[in-house]
Amino acid sequence: MRVLFVCLGNICRSPTAEGIVRARLRAAGLESVVELDSCGTGPWHVGEAPDARAQQAAAQRGIDLSALRGRQLQDADFMRFDYLLAMDHSNLSVLESRRPAASEAHVGLLMDFAGEPGEQVPDPYYEGGFDRVYDMIERAADGLVVELQDQLQDRLQHQSPQRPETHR
């Protein structure tokens, strides 16, 4: 399973989501079977570390974002990832407009996994609110991990070979 978190610049919301979900997957013993990444729809922060305020909000809760680096959404992401999860409607629109017809990826909003369909994670870059953003993403992360566990279980059940019947 592969999940891509998408925001505008890839220095606040999407790396925070990547860090939180990675920690949740580690706790569930699934870190090695689910690949995570994050990106921005814009090119402004390619190669940069997450915003210091996002790193601080995460570090206060035991999550280290310092190794992450910004990158921009690529067309290949639609074929590589199973889930492309946007932080807001604007970035979701970009995903929907760029999605190739052949892509089978789930494209949607992250907050849908918090049981809050249509809810957006606000961009804290100018207005602040990094702790609020962290809390929102945490709620969605829990629901997303449950979804991923269910999907992985379904895949295992469909891939496991049938035991041959023994005739006695």
Residue 140 has phi, psi (to 5 degrees) of: -70, -35
- Given the residues 12, 13, 37, 77, select the one marked as catalytic: 13
123 counts as catalytic = yes
* Annotated catalytic residue 142: no
* Calpha distance 153→125 (Å, rounded): 38
Separation of alpha carbons 52 and 15, rounded Å: 12
Q: Which of 37, 88, 112, 123 is catalytic?
A: 123
Q: How far apart are CA 88 and CA 96, in angstroms?
A: 12
Catalytic option among 7, 24, 51, 77: 7
Catalytic, 7? Answer yes
Give the active site residues: 7, 13, 123
